[in-house]
Amino acid sequence: MKKSSPTNKENLNESKEKIVSVSKHLSVNETTLKLLIKDTIDLVYYPFETTDNQKYLLVYFDDIINKEILDRDVIGAIISGATDNPMDENSNHLKYLKSIISFTNIKENNDIDQIIKRLMGGDVIIFAQGMEIALCLPSQGWQQRSIMEPEAEIITKGPREGFVETLKVNRSMIRRKVKNTSLVFESITKGNQTNSDINIVYIDNLVNKDVLALLKKRLEKIDIDAILDSGYIEELIEDDRLSPFNTTGYTERPDVVVGKILEGRIGIMCTGSPIVLTVPHLFIENIQVNEDYYTGYIMASINRGIRFLSFLLTIFTPGMYVAIATNHHELIPTKLLISFIGSRVGVPFPTIIEILIMIVIFELLRESGLRLPKGLGQTISIVGALVLGQAAVEAKFISAPVVIIIAITAITSFIFYKINSLLIITRVIIAFLGAMFGLYGVTLGMICMFIYMYSLQSFGIPYMRYLGSMKGQEVKDTLVRAPWWYMHLRPKVLTSRNVVREGYRKEK
Amino acid sequence: MKKSKVLLLVICIIFVSTNFIGCWNYIDVEQQFVVMGMAIDFDPATDEYIIYIEVSKAKGGSEAKLVTRVGSARGITLFDANRNLISKIGSKVYWGHTMVFIVSERVAERGLVNVLEILIRQTQVRSDIYIIVVDNKSIEKIFEFDDPIHDTVSQHLQDLLKFYEASGKYRKSPLFTVLKEIGSDEISLMLPYIKMQETKKSDDTSGSTEGEGEKDNTSKENPQEIIVTDGSIVFNGDKMVGKLDGMETQSALILKDEINNNYSLTISNDKGLPNCSVEVVDSTIKITPTIVDNNLNIEIKLEIEADIMELHTKVDFIQDEEKNALEIGFENMLIQQLHAVIKKTQEDFASDIFGFAGYTHRREHIFYKNNKDNWDKVYENANIDIKVDVIMQGSALTSQPIKVGQ
């Protein structure tokens, strides 16, 4: 691809030797730009002349600027300025221009490279005849989605706003929540074709500097054509790229991001995506939900327990069932055994095949239901419930207990939709182990899984940190959510320098 | 290159470990023929064991139905008979859920050890399987008993033994207890005894048996045979030496301290007392062996707290005087019954089913050591001294008998 059509960057590099800066002559500037930017209908070159015979060239992308501002505050200002207050021949053109244009944050630039970048970002560029500097006017304006509650992260109690696709708006949502002099946004541009903006956000006096340095290093290393969503970044900066376990977290909610950066984590925002990544990401974050902190600590702790139980159930239920139903008949109470036998009689497949068929069918249902237009959603549930729940059992295609087992697996897996890939893989492996070695295999699988999980790291922080600890301040926000008055310290590994939360200091 | 070698090694290990370690025991549930119960008889003519098994299997569908099949086979050993059974049943059977193991009197007389052997060597059989003795005539048809309440005869028997404490007239006998008592020098084995009994329309089961009481209306003309318990079988070593009836079994169980609440005591109106039943709330027994003139003297102190459950009189027996009379009536009855059962085991069986040897071992160590080898003789001549104290502590929900108006 790269060889057949030279990229923007290569193009720039070729011409850099000839022309690097803005010329005095408008026509030269125009030719340069036309050479560097392929002819496109949304790019506008607008030359005009004022009454005092000054020639100007405006260059902008028509669709990503605010036309009203351009007409009124730029062209209007220059034309009327020339009439009312024509430029002195001796005076500085640049100073003159700045004095008549009513616009803030005007950037002067004479590097064509930089100018093109700003042009792409939605700036209006003004070239003036005889001036070796161009003015860049940030006048971005485009339609954007309004701020809504993210559909993927519904909560019942708590703030409703969610991120949108525009970085500026997203930044504003965070800045509004953290009125703190230490809150820092940094920008990096990545994507050889798309030149996407990536922002990282952190609180300078809380962040773990090692993690920050590591993150910046990894972001710098990114060399990819396009970044259309933060998911691209997620895959490129993970510690163990082959692992099904996610070592970066993500959210669409500003309150979650703020909560995370207040614990010393770093948020990564990407233009065009409402998904904000947070690193480092520990396993326990899969079990934590922002609502835990808004509802009372008792309810939150109960929910945590349920979520952890669900994590175990969703992975181990099929495996346990296969193990017991095929290897350990003595473990089943006699009456249940008889009922198992009754349900299995006439079913043509072995139990493990039944389980696998049902796992696949469930994943099919999930996948097809996910991308279905809303009106069709019901169809899937009817097909799922009737075909699988009833007809399959009555037709002796699948035995009834397997349907129940898969139902439990499915219900519990929805709690962890963010790590679904991991769940599917481990579930199938454990089911196979259960079929082969019985409970011995399931236990072995469980041990191996936990050893693997304990070996993982997220940006140098152990993935399973705080799980397995017995210290009060370390377990306070893991399987239970301790009351706020008990959470004196911030997570130590994340904020190594500044661990004490405010309330504790005052108390002391 | 190196990575592919590691991968190859991992695949090899997985392949070998899954196929050759012998852990692979994958059997789908519907392939299991679950043996619910097993009965064993001995045929002296051919010197063969005969086994009868009750196999259960569920018929499929949304309403799973239990299908039970009874099969029988012969063999010189039980294992042999078991294998011969395959050709009759059509499948290998599964012992993991077997509930009862029934032996005939003939087998019990020959000795239990030979037949229990297979239960402890087999990996599948549970150690809490119940061992029951059945009378010789009933063994063939024991599994043909059609119980309308339970799905299988074995379940019926298992339930029956579960409520031994409330009945008090038979014993619960899981395999581990049986093995412990057979192997012990200090106690002799006692097993529950059942038999099939014909019930006619107005038949009443005799007082000593625990009748099931249900009468099937459909078989009015063909009187049905039902399973009833009939006391216990007493062993000496692993060989059967005699029987105890239901009441004797109750007395024996009180002495063994195996029942200590929930069971009932009933007095009949022969000694000026009304018919009365009490439910025992708590009974504690204290057995103290002493040596008098190199002779064993066993002192038994039984304390019973009971609630009056039924009183066939209009007189209020809750008052002190009447209550005392009632208490004394029960005490005398118990003393008589306990004496009778001990005497029977001493004289007829010479079998120490109460574990008096154990008490002696603990309290009179030297005496026991000297007389260990001829304990049966010592036991036969032992002097028994029984003291019973019955306390009527309550009268269930009412304090008055039902009042009859003029």
Do residues B252 and B245 lie in contact, with contact meaning Cβ atoms separated by under 8 Å? no
Structure confidence by residue, pLDDT tens digits, A430-457: 999 998 888 888 998 999 999 999 999 8
Interchain proximity A327–B32, CB inside 8 Å: no
ipTM computed for the complex: 0.77
Calpha distance A167→A270 (Å, rounded): 7
Task: Say whether residue A330 is in contact with chain B using an 8 A CB cutoff.
Answer: yes
Q: Cβ contacts of residue A113 below 8 Å, gap of 6+? A: A12, A16, A20
Structure confidence by residue, pLDDT tens digits, B16-31: 776 665 556 788 888 8
Interchain proximity B29–A329, CB inside 8 Å: yes
Of A327, A339, A394, the CB nearest to B64: A339
Q: Cβ contacts of residue A383 below 8 Å, gap of 6+? A: A365
Q: Give the B-side interface with A, CB within 8 Å.
A: 18, 23-30, 32, 34, 36, 56-62, 64-66, 94, 96-97, 99, 124, 126
* pLDDT top residue among B317 and A392: A392
Q: What is the pLDDT of residue A499?
A: 65
Task: Say whether residue A242 is in contact with chain B using an 8 A CB cutoff.
Answer: no
Do residues B306 and B393 lie in contact, with contact meaning Cβ atoms separated by under 8 Å? yes
Q: Counting one residue from A and one from B, how many pairs have CB atoms under 8 Å apart?
A: 85
Hey, how many other C-beta atoms are within 10 angstroms of the C-beta on A398?
25
B97: which chain A residues are within 8 Å (Cβ-Cβ)? 329-330, 334, 337
Q: What is the pLDDT of residue B23?
A: 57
Least confident span in A416-430, B18-32, B247-261: B18-32
A340: which chain B residues are within 8 Å (Cβ-Cβ)? 29
Please tell me what DSSP assigns to residue A191: -
Half-sphere exposure of A186 toward its Cβ, with a 13 Å CA cutoff?
15
Of B56, B64, B96, the CB nearest to A330: B96
Interchain proximity A340–B97, CB inside 8 Å: no
Do residues B149 and B215 lie in contact, with contact meaning Cβ atoms separated by under 8 Å? no
Asked if pLDDT for residue B175 goes beyond 90, the answer is: yes
Interchain proximity A346–B60, CB inside 8 Å: yes
Mean pLDDT of A136-161: 87
Structure confidence by residue, pLDDT tens digits, A15-57: 445 556 888 888 888 998 898 888 899 999 999 888 888 889 9
Q: What is the pLDDT of residue B90?
A: 82
Rg (CA), chain B: 26
Do residues A457 and A345 lie in contact, with contact meaning Cβ atoms separated by under 8 Å? no
Calpha distance A124→A62 (Å, rounded): 9
Task: Please give the share of chain A, as a percent, with pLDDT higher than 70.
Answer: 93
Asked if pLDDT for residue B213 goes beyond 70, the answer is: no
**Measured CA distances, A490 to A248, A260, A465, A498 (Å):** 20, 11, 13, 8
Least confident span in A299-303, A493-497, B121-125, B324-328: A493-497
Do residues A424 and A363 lie in contact, with contact meaning Cβ atoms separated by under 8 Å? yes
Asked if pLDDT for residue B215 goes beyond 50, the answer is: no
Interchain proximity A338–B58, CB inside 8 Å: yes
Q: Cβ contacts of residue A221 below 8 Å, gap of 6+? A: A236
Asked if pLDDT for residue B50 goes beyond 50, the answer is: yes
Pick from A2-6, B29-33, B392-396 the range whose average pLDDT is largest: B29-33
Whether the bond into A159 is cis, omega within 30 of 0: no
Distance of residue A342 Cα from the nearest chain B Cα, in angstroms: 4
Mind spelling out the 3-state secondary structure of A62-93? HHHECHHHHHHHHHHHHHHHHHHCCCCCCCCH
Nearest-by-CA chain A residue for B66: A338
DSSP string, A273-291: -S-EEEES--GGGGT--GG
Q: What is the pLDDT of residue A268?
A: 95
Structure confidence by residue, pLDDT tens digits, A85-119: 887 777 788 888 888 888 888 888 888 888 988 89
Q: In which band, very low, low, confident or very high, does the pLDDT at A342 lie, cut at 50, 70 and 90?
A: confident
Nearest-by-CA chain A residue for B34: A338
Q: What is the pLDDT of residue B311?
A: 81
Asked if pLDDT for residue B211 goes beyond 60, the answer is: no
Q: What is the pLDDT of residue B70?
A: 83
- Both tokens assigned to A300: 């939150």
- H/E run at residue A117: helix A112-120
Structure confidence by residue, pLDDT tens digits, A240-297: 888 888 889 999 999 999 999 988 899 999 999 999 999 899 898 888 888 888 988 9
Select from A242, A334, A353, A436 the residue whose CB has the most chain B CBs within 10 Å, as the one to mutate to test that interface: A334
Do residues B43 and A325 lie in contact, with contact meaning Cβ atoms separated by under 8 Å? no
Interchain proximity A338–B66, CB inside 8 Å: yes
Q: What is the pLDDT of residue A60?
A: 92
Q: What is the pLDDT of residue A16?
A: 47
Q: What is the pLDDT of residue A317?
A: 95
**Measured CA distances, A456 to A167, A244, A280, B56, B198 (Å):** 31, 11, 12, 50, 73
Bridge partners, residue B42, by sequence: B49
Q: Cβ contacts of residue B78 below 8 Å, gap of 6+? A: B40, B49, B51, B115, B117, B118
Q: What is the pLDDT of residue B57?
A: 83
Do residues A154 and A141 lie in contact, with contact meaning Cβ atoms separated by under 8 Å? no
- A36-42: long-range pairs with CB below 8 Å, 24+: A36/A11, A36/A12, A36/A112, A36/A116, A37/A116, A37/A119
Mean pLDDT of B118-145: 89
User: Average pLDDT, whole number, for chain B?
Assistant: 84
Q: In which band, very low, low, confident or very high, does the pLDDT at B210 lie, cut at 50, 70 and 90?
A: very low
Mean pLDDT of B314-327: 77
Half-sphere exposure of B289 toward its Cβ, with a 13 Å CA cutoff?
22
Interchain proximity B124–A396, CB inside 8 Å: no
Select from B23, B24, B29 the residue whose CB has the most chain A CBs within 10 Å, as the one to mutate to test that interface: B29
* pLDDT top residue among A263 and A387: A263
Structure confidence by residue, pLDDT tens digits, A215-236: 999 999 999 999 999 999 999 9
Structure confidence by residue, pLDDT tens digits, B350-392: 888 998 999 999 998 899 998 888 888 888 888 999 999 998 8
Q: What is the pLDDT of residue B219?
A: 43
Q: What is the pLDDT of residue A498?
A: 63
Asked if pLDDT for residue A62 goes beyond 80, the answer is: yes
SS3 of residue B93 by DSSP: strand
Locus of tokens 């003159």: A96
Q: What is the pLDDT of residue A251?
A: 93
Residue type, A144: Q
Q: Cβ contacts of residue A273 below 8 Å, gap of 6+? A: A165, A228, A229, A230, A231
- Both tokens assigned to A18: 């000839």
Nearest-by-CA chain A residue for B55: A338
Q: What is the pLDDT of residue A469?
A: 75
Locus of tokens 């970048």: A117
Q: What is the pLDDT of residue A257?
A: 94
- Both tokens assigned to B326: 């009632």
Locus of tokens 């002796």: A396
Least confident span in A253-257, B122-126, B219-223: B219-223
Q: In which band, very low, low, confident or very high, does the pLDDT at A501 lie, cut at 50, 70 and 90?
A: low
B29: which chain A residues are within 8 Å (Cβ-Cβ)? 325-326, 329, 332, 337, 340-341, 344, 351
* pLDDT top residue among A65 and B18: A65
Mean pLDDT of A313-335: 91
- Both tokens assigned to A237: 């900066």
* pLDDT top residue among B71 and A446: A446
Do residues B144 and B156 lie in contact, with contact meaning Cβ atoms separated by under 8 Å? no
Q: What is the pLDDT of residue A383?
A: 79
Of A279, A308, A437, A459, nearest to A448 by C-alpha is A437
Calpha distance A132→A107 (Å, rounded): 14
